[in-house]
Amino acid sequence: MAMTTTVSRSVFGRTGHLSSRVIFGAAALGGMRQERADQLLDTLLEFGVNHIDTAASYGDAELRIAPWMAAHRSRFFLATKTGERTGDAARASLERSLERMGVDCIDLIQLHNLVEDDEWETAHGPRGAVAALAKARDEGLVRFVGVTGHGTRIPAMHLRSLERFDFDTVLFPYNFMMLRSDEYRSAVDALLARCAERHVAVQTIKSVARRRWPEDSTESRFSWYQALPPGDSLQRAVNFVLGRSQLFLNTSSDGRLLRPTLEAACAHGSVPDDDAMLADVEAHDMSPIFDGADLERI
């Protein structure tokens, strides 16, 4: 494998932005003090990461990003999310995010985890969040509008969302364990085909997930799931995503994994074969983190 010191870049869908293939998941900043957040953000400059993905619900993450936007705004594609479904609330959420990050415009606003039928109908209604954010785009407060989601149902729901509104980006879970499900893989394949046709950017999450936390685990928890440890298995998990040119990988909320993930990305490995991935499954006692029921909203 060829090793470089910076993460490769690719055009982020129809946005035209040449984004790092690894996107910084700013949920890692949610509970940090500014000094520690600054150290983590310095790592982005070291590896050439130029795309930050945060959310209004990520604790103090937007506040931790603000000093960096004052100094480096032009270097980063900046995305945030809102969990609001009505138009007025989504507009207020966007304006608050702009204020918290100290910017006049963000590059991407995303509807956060739009998966439940009632919330979907509200968001897409005449006074819903989608229309309000499209208006904010027309006013220059945001450049692009996307949709995100967690759980096993979200690829199919994203397809439904793309039929109702011409979203610029999607985000959903993508890892070997989830794609072992024929139903999930089929939905993902259909979504990826549609995104390719429409030049919709595709972001992935939970790429280095190992399993849910065992009840008897005494490890510190910086993510709601237990991640793979740094090493060959994490390398293969990263390759599983980045070996597919259409995909971008959003980093874990466990900031300790940022450097190992970026180092893995710089190694430029190919997609590992099933035998290698199955060996990791056995070695790390891996299991799916979503079950189609109680964890769909996380």
Span 203-231, pLDDT tens digits: 999 999 999 999 888 888 888 899 999 99
pLDDT at 1: 47
Indicate the burial class of 273 (C-beta count within 10 angstroms; 0-12, 13-18, 19 or more).
exposed
pLDDT at 112: 97
Task: Round to whole Å and give the CA distance between 158 and 188.
Answer: 10
Q: Summarize pLDDT for 19-42 with one digit per residue, the tens.
A: 999 999 999 999 999 999 999 999
pLDDT at 219: 85
- Give the contacts of 209 (CB within 8 A, at least 6 positions apart): 173, 175, 177, 225, 226, 227, 228, 289
DSSP state of 128: B
Task: Round to whole Å and give the CA distance between 196 and 162.
Answer: 12
- CATH T-level fold of 9-283: TIM Barrel (3.20.20)
The DSSP H or E segment spanning 142 is: strand 142-148
Task: Round to whole Å and give the CA distance between 85 and 123.
Answer: 5
Q: Summarize pLDDT for 98-118 with one digit per residue, the tens.
A: 999 999 999 999 999 999 999
Q: Is the pLDDT of residue 2 over 70?
A: no
Q: Which has the minimum average pLDDT: 2-16, 32-46, 50-64, 144-158?
A: 2-16
DSSP state of 170: E
User: What ranges do the domains of the chain cover?
Assistant: 9-283
pLDDT at 135: 98
Q: Are strands 77-82 and 106-111 parallel, antiparallel or unpaired?
A: parallel
Torsion sign over Cα 74, 263, 288, 187: positive
pLDDT at 90: 98
Q: Is the pLDDT of residue 150 over 70?
A: yes
Nearest to 247 by CA among 225, 228, 229, 265: 265
Task: Round to whole Å and give the CA distance between 206 and 154.
Answer: 13
